[in-house]
Amino acid sequence: MSEIDHSLRPSSLNIIYSSKSSNIMKAGISNVRFKNWSETFECVPELFFAPKTEEEIAQILELARGENKKVRVVGRKHSPSDIACTDGFMMSLQNFNKLIEIDKKQMRVKVQAGMKLSELNDTLYSHNLALSM
């Protein structure tokens, strides 16, 4: 008896995979030119994504895995290097900017990974808190 080749997907799985991929692929924008804050580095990722849900993030990662692409997360583009640049998939977490929990007693806040510092400052201020310097 020959061994099962686990690298082969049953065709039904391929169909499920393709339909999910094509949905999220539509959300990807091509021809986006990324420039860092000081405009010293730039790149054009193959697709740029700004997911709104964790499910969308999972779909982008699944698509990247299937297409053998790397995913680079980008923040506010402030790095004075090309570290955020990619010719693969670029993903902004700009829509993940919510406060998750606040513990005034411990002076601790937990926020989503895409919150801007300016938004964090506003959020803290509204709770009579601030970043320590």
Residues interacting with ligand FAD, by CB under 6 A? 37, 72-79, 83-84, 93, 113-114
Q: How far is the CB of 112 from ligand FAD (least distance, A)?
A: 9
Q: How far is the CB of 1 from ligand FAD (least distance, A)?
A: 46
Residues 69/90, Cβ–Cβ less than 8 Å: no
Choice between 47 and 74, CB closer to ligand FAD: 74
**Nearest by Cα to 42 from 50, 33, 51:** 33
Helix ranges (DSSP H) in the chain: 11-27, 54-67, 117-126
Q: How far is the CB of 105 from ligand FAD (least distance, A)?
A: 27
